[in-house]
Amino acid sequence: MTSAKSARRPHHWRRDLIELAALFTAVAVADAIANLIGHQPDGPYLLVASAVALVATAAFHTWWARRHSHAPPSDEADAVPVGAGGTEGEAEGVGAGGVAGVEETGTTLWRMRTTVLDAPGSLAALCTALAGLRVDILTLQTHPLAEGTVDEFLLRAPASLQAQELSRRIAAAGGTSTWIERADAHDLVDTPTRVLSLATRTALDAAELPLALRQLLGRCTIHSLPAVSVTGRATGQSAPVEGVLEETVMRLRDPSGGVISVERPYLPFTPTEFARARALVELDARLGPRVPRSEDVLTLPEGNAITVRRADRADLAAARAMHDRCSQNTLGLRYHGPVADADRYLDHLLSPRFGRTLAVQTASGRLVALGHLLWDGDETEVALLVEDDWQRRGIGSELLRRLVALAEEAGCDSVYAVTQSRNTGMVAAMRALELPLDYQIEEGTLVITARLTSEEAARPSAPTEQARR
């Protein structure tokens, strides 16, 4: 658009002089022609005919000029040329609905990863294909490989667009090994911000390292493999300081001993992802053992005060003393095996690498209960042990409620408890959560699973993988 100031042209006296001269010349010529024709026999008729033709010509010129100076722009003028900053999808025309005259009622977030040749124009071809599908690119990461580049996109697409169609268009644009899955609002955080947030969480709590790796790398299975088993035997699990990357598996040296194994069978890890994971593990190693020290003082119905806090390997001696005070029946319900081996599990259970532990101690400082939230690959287990003299006072239910809250905070979809059907206290505590429960009995052992999210939300969307080309 032009402003009124720029639309006005300056008025010069030379133009007026030229127009006046032209007017006098035209009058002189017209007078000469009139005198010449007027003395002929048919002169008056020719003058009238000439005047009519002149008026008709002037009227036609005025109509033609007004029509083309005020006409709306044509459809071709609205089109965006492909070579002038637009794309083929944009060149089809934009209607009242936003794009191509179609009004979208909703959008869907997708995460897409595809491999392209490391050549000029390869990324532009992908972007052109996405624009043709009316897909908006929200974020883009590139993972250089020895041959080619892995491009990872966060996309906002029309709700009507299917993953198969998106994958087909990307394949036609040169993308291979394409992986597409649904995303959510949490993926809108840019990568540097997310990595800094995960590093902060890891720095505050050693138990956050497995969770941070899972959130950093997406859907994957993480196992902490100790160097020494619970029976005291060497497991032979080790990894070099720099770690090992084998396509869909990475092995990192655990600062507390052993190996952290990360598996993602459906999608190979890139060197960039391996470097990020190794940096988190190195941060954990430099900071050493650490557990946030927070305590909550609660009053039981009978008036006794107890303290609930996080526990770690520093509480090993107090936990073994509690074992000595527990009956054989209580230990048997908790560990489902020989009671003599119960003490061997404590070092494993109190390690922040395998989960989080809550301890309950009395006003005198004696440990009377332990609650464990254990990372078990893709699943999460909860376990409770309450000293006999402190049972049936609501301590187990309080610990379980807090453990479930920690699981929800960690993004777990469900938690499960392994117990026996005669352990009525544990069954009652799980029911008191008022969550959907699933029961399964295997060889006399009862497994109770509590779903923390709705079934529809917990079900992962089926990813679509393009055939290798």
**Residue 149: CATH number of its domain:** 3.30.70.260
Looking at 17-131, which runs of residues are DSSP E strands? 98-99, 102-103, 107-116
pLDDT at 256 (0 to 100): 74
- Shared-domain flag, residues 166 and 269: no
Q: Is pLDDT of 266 > 90?
A: no
CATH of the domain at 337: 3.40.630.30
- Shared-domain flag, residues 184 and 199: no
Confidence category of residue 399, pLDDT binned at 50, 70, 90: very high
| 234 secondary structure, DSSP code | B
- Shared-domain flag, residues 352 and 434: yes
| 39 secondary structure, DSSP code | T
Looking at 97-204, which runs of residues are DSSP E strands? 98-99, 102-103, 107-116, 136-144, 149-158, 176-182
Q: Which long-range contacts does 288-291 make (Cβ < 8 Å, 24+ apart)? A: 288/255, 289/206, 289/256, 289/313, 289/352, 290/204, 290/205, 290/206, 291/205, 291/206, 291/207, 291/352
Distance between CA atoms of residues 373 and 414, nearest Å: 12
Distance between CA atoms of residues 341 and 348, nearest Å: 12
**Which residue did the predictor score with more confidence, 234 or 202?**
202
User: Which pTM value belongs to this model?
Assistant: 0.61
Tell me how far the alpha carbon of residue 329 is from its chain's centroid.
47
Last residue of one domain, picked from the residues 254, 287, 320: 287
Split into its structural domains, the chain has a count of 3
- Shared-domain flag, residues 428 and 395: yes
| 313 secondary structure, DSSP code | G
- Shared-domain flag, residues 234 and 279: yes
> How much is the average pLDDT of 317-328?
90
Last residue of one domain, picked from the residues 258, 287, 316: 287
Q: Which residues, in sequence order, are CB contacts of 46 under 8 Å at separation 6+? A: 37, 40
Q: What average pLDDT is seen over the chain?
A: 78
Neighbours of 347 (CB within 10 A): 16
Neighbours of 212 (CB within 10 A): 25
Last residue of one domain, picked from the residues 188, 222, 246: 188
- Report if residue 88 sits inside a domain: no
- Report if residue 174 sits inside a domain: yes
> How much is the average pLDDT of 192-202?
87
Confidence category of residue 83, pLDDT binned at 50, 70, 90: very low
Q: Which residues, in sequence order, are CB contacts of 193 under 8 Å at separation 6+? A: none
Give the 3-state secondary structure of residue 11. Answer: coil
Domain that holds residue 260: 191-287
